[in-house]
Structure formats: C-alpha cells, structure tokens
C-alpha cells in the first residue's frame, strides 16, 4: 500500500502531544505500548521516515520512552525531585529521636519527592560486603584491600516509571558489630537514615560534602532512569565526615536533569558574631 503524508510532521507531533497530555485516549495513556514505526506509519498513512521523525520528536519531548530497536511506550512521567541540603541537619536531628515512628516519618523519598515510602511501587535494597573500589577507598582513606558495606537502594514510584537509585559505601570495620546494618529488610525501612545507622555504632556525622558533576547518560542509564534524549545525568557524590574528621560514608546518587532541582543553603553568621 502506498503511503501519504497528509499532515506535516509538526502537526502530527502536536496532535499526539495533546492527546498524550490529556491521557483520555486508549493506547496513549501512561504505560501503554506505542506502535512500532511500521505500525504507526500504516495507522496514520504516512511514510516510515515521517513516522520515525514523529516518534523521535515525542521521545525528545519526554512523552514516549524506549531505546531504538526495542519497545516503545507512553512515558510514565517522573516525579519532580527537590534536593535541598537543609535536609542533612533535619536528618541528624531526627536520628536522635527515641520514638521510631517519629524518627522514620520522613526519609529520602519524602524529602526529595514528597512521596511516602509505603506508597512506592518498588522499594528494593541490595547489601553486600566488597573490596572498596579504588575511588571509594581513596575518598574513605582506606587501604587497597579494605572492605566496605555496599548498599544499593532502588525505588520506582509507578510501574514502568524510571528508577531512582543510589549506592552507599561504609567501611565494614565501622559497622560490623551491628548485624542489623547488614540486613536488607531492616535497611529498606530504616528509621532515621544513614546518620542514625552510624549512630548505632557510636559515630556522629559532623560534615557532609556534596560534589556534583554532569555527563550524558550511557544507554543503560538512559534505560534504567528513563531519561529522554539530550538530557544530562547529574552525579552527586556525597561524603559524610565524622566529628573527629574521619570520612565514614560515600554515596553516589545519579539524578536525571529533567526532574531534579538542587538547592544549596549557606547560613552566614552576622558581622557581630
């Protein structure tokens, strides 16, 4: 069957954009599988080249998800995330609360997105003890064969939504006497965060240093975090330092640039203080 292009590419992009944003049309709701290029071209009686351009434009606008050569679906929109470093003082104060419910009322999910952890579609924790990677060993001032507890946190707010992932490294020698700190079930819902975890073995955090860099995501990162084309990935490396000056945790936190706002607050004492 011959194809025709009855409308300009941009007109079709606009038409589909409006339909996806309304979310009331079967096949164009979040999570719905989108036709292949060939199916799409046949459905709208356009050339495969035009179909491909429309699909790529919708992916670039963050309305469709999927890598080239694989399945495509209507994107489950990410939740905006605000990462404010004021949270660290709040987390430290909460870590000393005796009431577990009060201590655990707010965590990373609530701080960043306002979503209660109990309502997440997926909340996974993987724990192991490994030889510290070279860069982590350097940051934690460890020897080449020293071990760390590695915890990988993965969360997804809805089915098919992009992952939120972070990786924490703590020197194993610091936490080995508390078996709860190696238990993934306990860590998945730990009340009080990392500062409370460290507090259980007598470590008080006195400083946190966030270093932020940016790079374009790899194909795997684009898939896992559901990052549209041309959107960078911010890499936050968080270093926690104890009050005696020892580095006690390194955390790597990737943040897709299309859904995150970073806020850095710097209290400045008055002239007379």
- pLDDT tens profile 175-217: 999 999 999 999 998 999 999 999 999 999 999 999 999 999 9
**15-38, pLDDT tens digit by residue?**
999 999 999 899 999 999 999 999
d(CA 255, CA 252): 10
d(CA 47, CA 45): 7
- Say which CATH topology domain 9-74 has: Arc Repressor Mutant, subunit A (1.10.10)
**215-225, pLDDT tens digit by residue?**
999 999 999 99
- What pLDDT was estimated at residue 272? 81
Q: What percent of the chain has pLDDT over 90?
A: 91
- The CA angle 171-193-200, to the nearest 5 degrees, is 60
d(CA 215, CA 234): 7
Q: What is the mean pLDDT of residues 124-145?
A: 97
> What CATH code would you report for 81-263?
3.40.1410.10
Is the CB of residue 19 less than 8 Å from the CB of residue 28? yes
As annotated, the residues of the chain forming the CATH 1.10.10.10 domain(s) are 9-74
As annotated, the residues of the chain forming the CATH 3.40.1410.10 domain(s) are 81-263
Using the predicted structure, report yes or no on whether residue 1 has a pLDDT greater than 60.
Answer: no
- What pLDDT was estimated at residue 6? 52
Using the predicted structure, report yes or no on whether residue 2 has a pLDDT greater than 50.
Answer: no
């Amino acid at each position: 069957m011959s194809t025709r292009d009855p409308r300009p590419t941009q007109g079709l992009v606009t038409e589909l954009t409006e339909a996806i944003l309304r979310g009331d049309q079967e096949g164009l709701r979040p999570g719905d599988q989108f036709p292949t290029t060939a199916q799409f071209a046949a459905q709208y009686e356009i050339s495969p080249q035009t179909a491909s351009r429309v699909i790529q434009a919708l992916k670039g606008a963050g309305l469709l998800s999927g890598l080239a050569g694989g399945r495509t679906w209507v994107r489950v929109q990410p939740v905006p995330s605000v990462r404010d470093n004021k949270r660290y003082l709040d987390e430290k104060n909460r870590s000393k609360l005796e009431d577990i419910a009060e201590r655990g009322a707010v965590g990373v999910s609530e701080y960043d997105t306002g979503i209660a952890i109990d309502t997440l579609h997926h909340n996974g924790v993987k724990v192991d003890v490994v030889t510290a990677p070279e860069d982590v060993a350097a940051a934690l001032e460890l020897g080449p064969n020293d071990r760390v507890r590695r915890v990988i946190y993965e969360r997804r707010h809805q089915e098919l939504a992009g992952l939120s992932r972070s990786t924490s490294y703590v020197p194993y020698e610091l936490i080995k006497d508390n078996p709860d700190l190696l238990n993934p079930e306990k860590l998945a819902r730990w009340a009080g965060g990392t500062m409370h975890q460290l507090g259980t073995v007598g470590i008080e955090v006195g400083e946190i240093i966030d270093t932020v860099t940016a790079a374009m995501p790899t194909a795997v990162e684009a898939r896992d975090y559901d990052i549209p084309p041309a959107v960078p990935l911010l890499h936050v490396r968080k270093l926690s330092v104890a009050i005696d000056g020892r580095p006690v945790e390194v955390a790597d936190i990737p943040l897709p640039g299309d859904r995150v706002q970073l806020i850095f607050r710097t209290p400045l004492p008055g002239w007379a203080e």
